[in-house]
Structure 1
Amino acid sequence: MRVVVTGATGGIGERISLRLAEAGHSVVLVGRAWERIDGARRRIAGAVPGADLGGEVADLSLAAEVRALAERLEPLPDVVINNAAVIAPLDASTSEGRQLMLATNHLAPYVLLRILAERLGDRPARFVIVGAHPGGLRRTPVDLDDLECRNHRALGPVPSFRPFVGYGRTKNMNAMFGYALAARLAKTKITVNGGHPGIVDQTGLGRSSTGLLRLFTVMINPFTQSLDEGADNPYWLATAPEVAGVTGKYYLRRRAVPTADHTTDPARVERLWDESARLVGLPADVS
C-alpha cells in the first residue's frame, strides 16, 4: 500500500510514517524542505532497514505548491494522511496573501484531497484528516464571515491565547471539510474520515507561542501522550480492515464520536466549502 503523509518530518507525522514502514507499506513523506525530509527518512530507515520511503517537497501554506504536489504524485496513493498543521501569530501571512494557519491547516488539505479525488476516479482510497479533540472545539465555531481571523478581539480577551483559538477554528474546518468531501464522494470508492491523535508532546505546534499560551503548553506537558499513542488513531484509520468502506465519520481512540452541531450544520458546511473554493481558485462543483 502506498501512503502519503503530510507533515511527516517530525512529531506525529514522522511517527505515523514509522508505523506504516514497520507494517511494510510504501510511505511518501511530505515536508517543506528536502533536508528535513531526508532527516526523517534516515531516522525511519535506521529503525526499519529496507523501508520503502519516498519524499516530496511542498510548502503546504501555498495553494500553488499544494496543487502541483497533487498533480505530480505518481503512482497515485492508496491512502493520504493529512497531518500537517501550525499554530502561528494571527497576522502571519503567506506570499499568496492568505492567513498562514488557514492556508496550512485547512486550505492545503482542501486542495490536495479535491485534486487527488479527481485523479483517483473510480480507484479505492482512504483519506484521513488529522483533527483535534471534538469536545475541546465545541466553543470555537468557525466564523464564516472571518475565515482568516482578522477580528482578533472575537478570539477572546487574552491576546496570547488568540492564536490557539484561531487554530481551533481551523481544526473545526477540518471536520467540516471532511464531512463535505465524504458526501461528495459517497458514490466512489474513496472514504474520508477525521480523527484526533490526542494531546501529544513534541509536535512542535506551539513553538511560536508566547505569554499565557506558552505557560499553558508547559503546564499540560505532564498530561500529554507519547508520539506512539498519538500516531495510533491516524494509523488505524489508514490501515484497519474494520473501517474499510466507512466514510464521513470522526474518530477518537478508534471510536466514532460526534462533533459539535456547528460543524455538521449543512448550510454552514456548504458555505465553508464554497468560500474555500473561492479562496483557492477551484470550482465549487466536484466533477
Structure 2
Amino acid sequence: MTERTEGGESRTNEGEQAIVTGGTRGIGEAIVRSLAAQGMSVVMVGRSDTALREAADRVRSRVQGAELRLERADLSLVGDVRALADRLAETTSPSVVINNAAVTADIRARTEEGNQLTLATNHLAPYVLMRTLAEAATGRPARFVVVGASPSVLRRFPVDLDDLHAQGARVLSRFPSLRPFAAYARTKNMNTMFVYSLARRLVDTGITVNGAHPGIIARTGLSRDARGLEKVLTTMVQLNPFRKMPEQGADNPVWVATDPGLDGVNGRFFVDRKDVVTPDHTLSPERCEALWERSAELVGMAP
C-alpha cells in the first residue's frame, strides 16, 4: 500500500534527493514540504542558520519523518554559491534541483564582490549552482527547475545585455520607486534565457531544465522593502482576490520537477501546468548565448 502524508500526498519518490534554494519561507518552504511529503530527502538552502532551523521545524511538524539537510549560504555572493555548489556536487546525487531564491533590491545596492544585489541573487546564483551541479551529474538523470515569473508581465522588460547591473536608471523606469521592480523583472527574464541556454547544453545527458511560474503569491516577503509606487503596486497585488497562497504557488514548480509525464521534457516554461511561449526577446539563441558568456565572465567560469 502506498504511504500517504498528512496532506494526502503519496510518498512516490522515497529515497530520492532534492535541493531547494530559498527554502526558509513562502513558496520555497512549501516546495520543501511537498517534496519531503513525497519521500524525498531535501537539502534546504537559506541565508540564516536560525531561519533554516525554524523552517525545518515547521516542515517536520507537518511531514512526519521528513528528512532534511540544512545548508547555509549567502546566494548574493559568488564565493558562497561556488562553495555551496562544490559541497553539494561532492555529497549529493539530486534527482531534483529547484532554484526558488529571489530578491528585489535597490538598484544601487552592491554586494561586497561588486555585483548588483538583485542580479547576483536572482541570476548569478542559479547560473553558478546549476552549472556546477549539471557538470558534476554527468550520466545521472535529474530535473532542474528555475522558478520564474509571469511571461506576459516580463514581456515589457527585456534584458539589456550591455547593462546587466541595471545602472541605466531612467531606462528601467522614469519613476525611481519602480526601478527595483524593473531590475527584478529583467533578472527573471535572465532566468528564462539561462534555462534555454542550459537546456541546449544538456540534450541527451539525462538532465532536463525547465522554468516554472508559481503565480501571484501572497506572503512571499519579496517586496518587504518596497517604497513609493512599488509599494502601492505590491499592495494591490497582495489584495488581488486571485492571488495564491505559498502552498498553491509550490504546485507548478513541484509538478514540473516530479510529474512522470514530463520525463525528457527540456527547455520549456510552464504556467499553471501548461507549456507556454515566453517573450521573443528571451527566445533568441544569440541573445541567450551572449548572456551566458557575460554571466560566465562575472562569476569567473569558462563560457
Q: Does 2:263 match 1:244? A: yes
Distance (Å, rounded) in 1 between the aligned partners of 2:124 and 2:17: 23
Shift of 1:277: 0.3
Shift of 1:188: 0.5
Q: Which moved more, 1:72-81 or 1:249-258?
A: 72-81
Aligned residue for 2:143?
Answer: 126
Equivalent position SS for 1:193: strand
Shift of 1:219: 1.5
Aligned residue for 1:166?
Answer: 183
Q: Which moved more, 1:67-76 or 1:38-47?
A: 67-76
Shift of 1:92: 0.7
Distance (Å, rounded) in 2 between the aligned partners of 1:266 and 1:16: 31
Aligned residue for 2:284?
Answer: 265
Shift of 1:116: 0.5
Shift of 1:191: 0.2
Equivalent position SS for 2:56: helix
Q: Does 2:65 match 1:46? A: no
TM-score by length of 2: 0.93
Distance (Å, rounded) in 2 between the aligned partners of 1:165 and 1:42: 35
Distance (Å, rounded) in 2 between the aligned partners of 1:187 and 1:220: 41
Aligned residue for 1:98?
Answer: 115
The one-letter code matched in structure 1 to 2:166 is C
Q: How many residues align?
A: 284
Distance (Å, rounded) in 2 between the aligned partners of 1:181 and 1:216: 33
User: 208, 212, 217: which one pairs with 1:191?
Assistant: 208
The ranges of structure 1 where at least 4 consecutive aligned residues each deviate by more than 2 angstroms after the TM superposition are: none
Distance (Å, rounded) in 2 between the aligned partners of 1:275 and 1:75: 29
Shift of 1:76: 2.2
Q: Does 2:74 match 1:55? A: no
RMSD across aligned positions (CA):
0.7
Shift of 1:267: 1.1
Distance (Å, rounded) in 1 between the aligned partners of 2:118 and 2:207: 27
Equivalent position SS for 1:81: strand
Q: Does 2:242 match 1:227? A: no
The one-letter code matched in structure 2 to 1:189 is G
Distance (Å, rounded) in 1 between the aligned partners of 2:293 and 2:141: 26
1:221-257 per-position Cα deviation (integer Å, ceiling 9, x unaligned): 1222111110100010111001111000000001100
Distance (Å, rounded) in 1 between the aligned partners of 2:234 and 2:126: 26
Structure 1, unmatched stretches of 5+, are: none
Distance (Å, rounded) in 2 between the aligned partners of 1:128 and 1:50: 25
Equivalent position SS for 2:239: helix
Aligned residue for 1:145?
Answer: 162
1:134-155 per-position Cα deviation (integer Å, ceiling 9, x unaligned): 0110010000000000111111
Shift of 1:43: 0.3
The one-letter code matched in structure 1 to 2:174 is P
Distance (Å, rounded) in 1 between the aligned partners of 2:238 and 2:135: 41
Aligned residue for 2:21?
Answer: 6
The one-letter code matched in structure 2 to 1:203 is T
Distance (Å, rounded) in 1 between the aligned partners of 2:253 and 2:41: 16
Distance (Å, rounded) in 1 between the aligned partners of 2:37 and 2:94: 18
Equivalent position SS for 1:76: coil
Aligned residue for 1:34?
Answer: 49
Equivalent position SS for 1:135: helix
Equivalent position SS for 2:270: strand
Aligned residue for 2:295?
Answer: 276
Distance (Å, rounded) in 1 between the aligned partners of 2:106 and 2:270: 29
**Percent of pairs identical after alignment?**
55
User: 235, 239, 264: which one pairs with 1:218?
Assistant: 235
Distance (Å, rounded) in 1 between the aligned partners of 2:81 and 2:217: 26
The one-letter code matched in structure 1 to 2:205 is T
The one-letter code matched in structure 1 to 2:145 is V
Distance (Å, rounded) in 2 between the aligned partners of 1:121 and 1:23: 25
